[in-house]
Structure 1
Amino acid sequence: METIGFIGIGNLGYPIAENLLKAGYKVKIYNRTRVKALPLEAQGAVLVNSPEEAAEKGGIVLTLVSDDAAITSIAGDAFAAALGNGGIHVSLSTISPDTARVLAAHHKEYGVHYVGAPIFARPEAAAAKVGNAVISGNAAAKERIKPLLEAGFAKRVFDLGEDEGNANVLKLIGNFMIAGAIEMMAEGFALAEKNGLEVKAVYEMLTSTLFASPVFSGYGAMIVDRKYNVPSFSAALGLKDMNLVLQTASRSHTPMPLANLVQSRLTTVVAKNEIPEADWVALASGAFKDAGI
């Protein structure tokens, strides 16, 4: 099997890289904090010292980093040249669609295809390979990378065409809708508690009937238990994503009042820093505080 480059071993990157190793791929890993990747070296990964060293001519490199600044700093001239003609850069990160398109245009100068493939999965879902991927970019490049996505984390892969920014537009929509669901549940559960209902019973009824889905059942349980500090996806990253949602909405003249609300909730969580290692589900705390709970 071919050698794959992987850049970014965080909470989500680690299980994906581990799954690729288990599937038999040779994996070259670059991570800014090298120590986080050492357990993967023990499983057969090769640790390299720069993003360029993770690339092979005409090969594939997957990147999973925190934000637009991080991906831009990694995927510059040296990186694209190292991949070279026929190479593919698969960006698993949640970034601005505009940044994706800029990177794609830059990569084309070196004969490299850029494929946007942001992940819909928390770390435990990625580890179990029951996540979802949305992809956009060159058709042949997408076909080449699908087995990697399926081996790494994806139960299903959804193709959104050749515009490299499309996948990130959908990823931002998805994250906005998750955040909106968290806010909606928090307000509903606060109303239940203020009126003397047992909140867990409310949760169990709603998530087994009208709202039977992973988002409502998973995040709903965390809200009921006030389990705000399980930082699989940090409040800071959630805030970054809501900023990107509103940036994208502004550029397309799309009013999104609920996005403004959840952005404000996350800004408060990050600014006050009252919840150690806050997960983005901590945005739910605002509705309870507003209700005096």
Structure 2
Amino acid sequence: MKKPTVAFIGLGAMGAPMARNLIAAGFAVTIYNRSRGPAEAFAAEGVRIAASPADAVEPGGIVVTMLANDAALEAVTLGEDGFAARLGAGGMHISMSTVSAETSRRLAIEHAKLGSKLLAAPVFGRPEAAAARKLWICQSGSDDAKERAQPVLAALGQKIHDFGTDPGAANVVKLSGNFLIFSAIEALSEALALAEKNGVDREVLVSFFGETIFNCPIYQNYGRMLAQRSYEPPGFKLELGMKDMRLVRNVAEDAQVPMPLADLLHARLLTALAKGRGGMDWMAIELSSSEDAGLTGT
């Protein structure tokens, strides 16, 4: 059976390899990106590059968005030249960005007015995982939306985890997960500073813990990069980490959930931004722990 055409909007560090995986899986893909540069390689390979978000979609078709923040997602969906009206009846929007639960719920309502559906499907994994089709995908939305999206999501990740019918639920899971990852980065950073200040080799420390009591991908992979201070080029920019931490704290405040560790992480990010590290990987908060300990941080 011929696979449907999919519009893919957002060719950042995550979006570009995801779009390539859809093409490799046999989908006819139309691309839209706000800046033309990232789309040039696709154009050279014969992929159609749309002039606007609305131009990218087919009426009643499928569109995947992978964008930096809530404002960008709302702009391409509902803004001038947004795709929602053209997508229309029978359309399907798979939203894979890390955004607030309320944004997903609001967009789901707007799509429903036009006869289309939204499936929230944020992912866990860095760009290399996206390229290798190893993303972990969280989804929430209607059952028929999940069924229609399944072939698309299967081409992008290693497993899909379902979190019910509330369009915002998957986003809450994603923000909770990013909070846990960032908490691990902070804990690793402080442990590395303690070890280094006492003459213990950083890489030996993380290798030991990654093989024993913290034998899991986050401590292994992030521990290795933190020990080596591999913060450039960024896999996930620190400035985007701040965006996510703001979302975590907003959700917590709305639900009246105290999160003192989130407050600490927010302060760490703010310090790093003030020091001009917004374009580095979000792991670069480790430099503050190192500096606080009187180490060089470089």
Report the TM-score when normalising by structure 1.
0.96
Match of 1:102 in 2: 106
Tell me the amino acid that sits aligned with residue 85 of structure 2: A
Match of 2:72 in 1: 70
1:259-281 Cα shifts (integer Å, max 9, x gaps) = 111111111112210x4831101
Alpha-carbon separation, structure 2, partners of 1:252 and 1:36: 39
Give unmatched runs, 5+ long, in structure 1.
Answer: none
* Structure 2 residue 236 is matched with structure 1 residue 230: no
Tell me the amino acid that sits aligned with residue 98 of structure 1: E
Offset at 1:161? 0.7
Give unmatched runs, 5+ long, in structure 2.
Answer: none
Offset at 1:70? 0.7
1:194-218 Cα shifts (integer Å, max 9, x gaps) = 2221221111110011111111111
Match of 2:256 in 1: 253
Tell me the amino acid that sits aligned with residue 54 of structure 1: A
1:239-278 alignment, distance < 5 Å:
239-273=242-276, 275=277, 277-278=279-280
Q: Which runs of 4+ in 1 moved over 4 A?
A: none
Alpha-carbon separation, structure 1, partners of 2:235 and 2:192: 23
Offset at 1:43? 2.9
* 8 Å Cα contact 1:15/1:127 also seen in 2: yes
1:206-221 alignment, distance < 5 Å:
206-221=209-224
Offset at 1:123? 0.6
- Alignment RMSD: 1.2
1:243-274 Cα shifts (integer Å, max 9, x gaps) = 0000000000111111111111111112210x
* 8 Å Cα contact 2:68/2:97 also seen in 1: yes
Alpha-carbon separation, structure 2, partners of 1:232 and 1:18: 18
Tell me the amino acid that sits aligned with residue 99 of structure 1: T
Alpha-carbon separation, structure 2, partners of 1:276 and 1:89: 30
Q: Percent identity?
A: 44
Match of 1:160 in 2: 163
Match of 1:131 in 2: 135
Match of 2:290 in 1: 288
* Structure 2 residue 19 is matched with structure 1 residue 17: yes
Tell me the amino acid that sits aligned with residue 112 of structure 2: K
Match of 1:193 in 2: 196
Tell me the amino acid that sits aligned with residue 181 of structure 1: A
The number of residues matched between the two structures is 291
